[in-house]
Amino acid sequence: MSVLSAEQLTGRVRSHVLELPESGCVLHPDAAVAFMDLRAAATQSDIDLVAVSSFRTFEHQLLIWNDKFHGRRPLLDRDGGVMDRSVMTEEQLVRAILLWSALPGASRHHWGTELDLIDRAALPPGQRPQLVAQEYAAGGVFARLGAWLARHGERHGFFLPYDRDRGGVQPEPWHVSFAPVSNAALPALTLAVLAEALAGVELAGAAVVHRQLHDIHARYVCAVGEPGAAALAGSRG
Ligand SMILES: [Zn+2]
């Protein structure tokens, strides 16, 4: 398995991903093959597996970050409630963004190995997915999908890096990762690689981010779940 370059790890190039015309996904070629297998398997369980997010560029993540910092997109607390920006310091703004959005360069979506998944067949007409944990818990619209992914994902190489709260990113039962590639990408995304990607970038809250980069890297990049042996072995159709 070739390790991704610094530019690829931080989403500044697209040389490691391709677009799947049928699903609109943009993925690393190995993850693309595995996802097509996963989709086919899900179909047999009457699950219409759709990715609402796959590869994301550094520029896109930067746009999300700066919009949240400047109030052009809502800032949500742990329970999904809208936070009052007017009473928050820059440091509090940065921490609030990090609950739900990665720092540009630090998103696993840059790797082309990550997917945010819904079951389109379970969604009532006209209802939009919110990507909140309740949807995937017992009684939620995607409860069946959540249970199916936990049971079948690893056989196809996928695991859930945000399966529980580790003091950084909040639990994301919709976010799966293709372990054979992402497990090599994680240690390659060092603090130095991240700092280099952010150098000279028009990043809102940059002073706070640079002062706390070591802690941000530890909590929001490194503190994730580990894939099991089955996921690391990759897709077996
Ligand atoms: Zn995601």
More confident residue, 109 or 235: 109
- Cα 22 to averaged position of ligand 1 atoms, centre (Å): 20
- Cα 201 to averaged position of ligand 1 atoms, centre (Å): 23
How does pLDDT run across 47-64, given as a tens digit for each residue?
999 999 999 999 999 999
Other Cβ atoms within 10 Å of 201 Cβ, number: 15
Query: Does 237 have pLDDT greater than 50?
Result: no
Q: Structure pTM? A: 0.94
Angle between helices 90-100 and 58-69 (to 10 degrees): 130
For the chain, what is the radius of gyration of the CA atoms? Answer: 17
Residue 53, CB-side half-sphere exposure with 13 Å CA sphere: 19
Rounded Cα gap, residues 165 and 172, in angstroms = 9
Bridge partners, residue 176, by sequence: 115
- Cα 98 to averaged position of ligand 1 atoms, centre (Å): 13
- Cα 159 to averaged position of ligand 1 atoms, centre (Å): 12
How does pLDDT run across 30-48, given as a tens digit for each residue?
999 999 999 999 999 999 9
Rounded Cα gap, residues 181 and 30, in angstroms = 8
Question: Quick one: pLDDT band at residue 235, thresholds 50, 70, 90?
Answer: low
- Cα 192 to averaged position of ligand 1 atoms, centre (Å): 23
Q: Which of 219, 3, 185 is nearest to 95 (CA)?
A: 219
Question: Quick one: pLDDT band at residue 236, thresholds 50, 70, 90?
Answer: low
The tokens 């991240």 sit on which residue? 194
How does pLDDT run across 89-137, given as a tens digit for each residue?
999 999 999 988 999 999 999 999 999 999 999 999 999 999 989 999 9
Tokens of 81: 């409630």
- Cα 88 to averaged position of ligand 1 atoms, centre (Å): 26
Torsion of CA 66, 70, 73, 76, to 10 degrees: 100
- Cα 212 to averaged position of ligand 1 atoms, centre (Å): 23
- pLDDT value, residue 2: 54
How does pLDDT run across 61-83, given as a tens digit for each residue?
999 999 999 999 999 888 888 99
